[in-house]
Amino acid sequence: MRNYYRVLRVIPAAALSTLLPLPAEAHVKWFAPYIVGAPPQPISQTLANPWFWAGIALVLLFFVTTRLVEISPIGAKVIASLDRATDPLWVRQDDYVRSIIAAFFVAIFAVGGVYLTPDLKTPAEWVSWMQLLIACGIFSRKTMPAAGVGIVALWVLALRDYDLFHLFDYLALGLGVAGYLILEPLENRELRDRRFEALRWGLAIALMWSSLEKFAFPSWFYPLVLEKPFLTFGMPRDVFIPMAGVTEFTLGFGLLWTPLIRRLSAIALLIIFTAAVWPFGRVDLIGHGLIMAILIAVAADHRTGVDLMTKLKRRSVSIPVGLSAALVVFCTAYWGLHLAFYGGDGRPQMSDLPKTTHSYSEEHPHGPGGPSHTETAPHTHP
More confident residue, 88 or 38: 88
pLDDT at 173 over 70: yes
Mean pLDDT computed over 8-37: 49
Q: CA-CA distance, 183 to 186, in Å (whole number)?
A: 6
Long-range contacts of the stretch 122-125 (C-beta < 8 A, 24+) = 122/158, 122/161
Phi/psi-derived region of residue 343, left when phi > 0, alpha when psi is between -120 and 50, beta in every other case: left
Buried b (16+ CB within 10 A) or exposed e, 308-343: eeeeebeebebbeebbeebbeebbeebbeebeebbe
> What does the alpha-carbon distance between residue 59 and residue 15 come to, in Å, rounded to a whole number?
9
Question: 164-183 and 144-157 helices cross at what angle (nearest 10)?
Answer: 180
pLDDT, tens digit (0-9, with 9 covering 90-100), for 223-265 = 777 766 666 666 777 788 888 889 999 999 999 999 999 999 9
How many CB atoms sit inside 10 A of residue 263's CB? Answer: 25
- pLDDT above 70: residue 361: no
The end-to-end CA distance of the chain, in Å, is 58
Q: What percent of the chain has pLDDT over 70?
A: 76
For residues 212 and 179, the answer to whether their CB atoms sit within 8 Å is: no
DSSP SS3 for 371: coil
Q: Which residues pair with 122 in a beta bridge?
A: none
Q: How far is CA 8 from CA 75, 272, 342, in A?
A: 10, 20, 49
* CA gap 132, 306 in Å, rounded: 35
Other CB atoms within 10 Å distance of the CB of residue 24: 21
Alpha carbon distance 132, 372 (integer Å): 41
Report the pLDDT value the prediction gives residue 96, as an integer from 0 to 100: 93
Residue 38's nearest CA partner among 362, 348, 322 is 348
Strand, helix or coil for residue 376: coil
Confidence of residue 376 (pLDDT cuts 50, 70, 90): very low
What was the pLDDT predicted at 282? 65
